[in-house]
Amino acid sequence: MGMVRTRVLGVAAIAMVAVLTGCASGPPVDYSHLGADDVVFRFMELRGDPIPTSVAFEVPAVTVFGNGRVVRPVPSEGYPWPEVTQQWLTPSGMRRLLDAARDAGLAKQTDFGEVDGVVGSGGVVFRVVDRVTFVGMPTLGLTIPRMRVRAFMAQLGNLDRWMGWDLSAEEPYSAPGIAVIAFEQGPETGAEPAWPLSDLGLGVPVRAAVCTVYDAADLAPVRNAVTPNGYQRVWRSNGMSYWIMVRPLLPGDTGCASTAIEDVFG
């Protein structure tokens, strides 16, 4: 009986691996209509309950553009000045990435379901060409679609090893500008340092904030105003107090109008 049971479990395990890593589940993902700086693939992690608006202004965990450029933030603790690297995917690497996204159910309408008995928000957002998919609480649930997403996320988390020779070495990304996104907190208290540049309140309205794009060199006084947890986040400007975050402009960004990633909001 024990031998039979072992064989049955072995067959079941093999079947599960086949389901999760099986053959292609559809035609290749077409991105031929996109330009060099258009987003072909994006992966964002959304944390918080509820998810704060500021998440939309963060640099996504992985962004891949039409020319194969891969942009990722440098992992860090606290709130340091955001650093971004770039790499380049070969055409073969791009195809492998998009095939894996397709096989995870992210290139078509897929029911990932909800996790019973779990209350809260947060999740992940994927963009595969023109399709945006939100998966709530992706680390939970044992349905096949959720297990496929988790397997794909594991590959993304080890992208260099997964892609091997299809992905170039990391190099610094030189942003064409730095967006300062400022969230008004009310009248200044006098305890905040004075903002050293143009009036934050005159920025371009974006979602619940105002945004101003500066050259990186102009922001040196802000970058150098460090605290134990990173750069100074609260400033006073023209009588008002603001909480700020900075975000390098990415390829294809046209200024403040494109700094909020609308995929976050569904």
Residue for token pair 């990173």: 230
Number of separate domains in the chain: 2
φ/ψ of 51, rounded to 5, equals -70, 120
Q: Enumerate the β-bridge partners of residue 70.
A: 64, 87
Task: Report if residue 203 sits inside a domain.
Answer: yes
Residue 19 lies in a domain: no
* Same domain for 136 and 238: no
- Same domain, yes or no, for 77 and 122? yes
pLDDT tens digits, residue range 196-243?
999 999 999 998 899 999 998 999 999 888 787 788 899 999 999 999
pTM: 0.86
Q: b vs e for 40-79, b when ≥16 Cβ sit within 10 Å of the residue's Cβ?
A: bbbbbebeeeebebbbbbbbbbbbbbbebbbbbbeeeeee
Pick from 44, 66, 76, 84: which is nearest to 179 by CA? 84
Q: Is the pLDDT of residue 109 over 60?
A: yes
Judgement on whether residues 46 and 168 belong to the same structural domain of the protein: yes
Domain boundary, last residue among 118, 139, 172: 172
Q: Is residue 59 part of a domain?
A: yes
Whether residues 110 and 91 fall in one domain: yes
In this structure, the answer to whether residues 57 and 150 fall within a common structural domain is: yes
The whole domain housing 138 covers 39-172
Which residues does residue 213 pair with via DSSP β-bridges, in sequence order? 179
Q: In the chain, where does DSSP find H-type helix?
A: 2-20, 91-103, 144-157, 159-163, 220-223
d(CA 247, CA 212): 11
Residue 11 lies in a domain: no
- On whether residue 66 sits in a domain, the answer given is yes
Same-domain status, 131 and 192? no
In a domain, 119, yes or no: yes
Assess whether 167 and 210 both reside in one domain: no
Residue 3 lies in a domain: no
Q: Say how far apart CA 108 and CA 128 lie, in whole Å.
A: 9
- 53: Cβ–Cβ under 8 A, 6 or more apart, which residues? 207, 208, 209
Alpha carbon distance 57, 125 (integer Å): 14
Question: Is 25 among the domain residues?
Answer: no
List pLDDT tens digits, range 40-74.
999 998 876 666 788 889 999 999 999 999 999 99
Q: Are 149 and 123 in contact (CB under 8 A)?
A: no
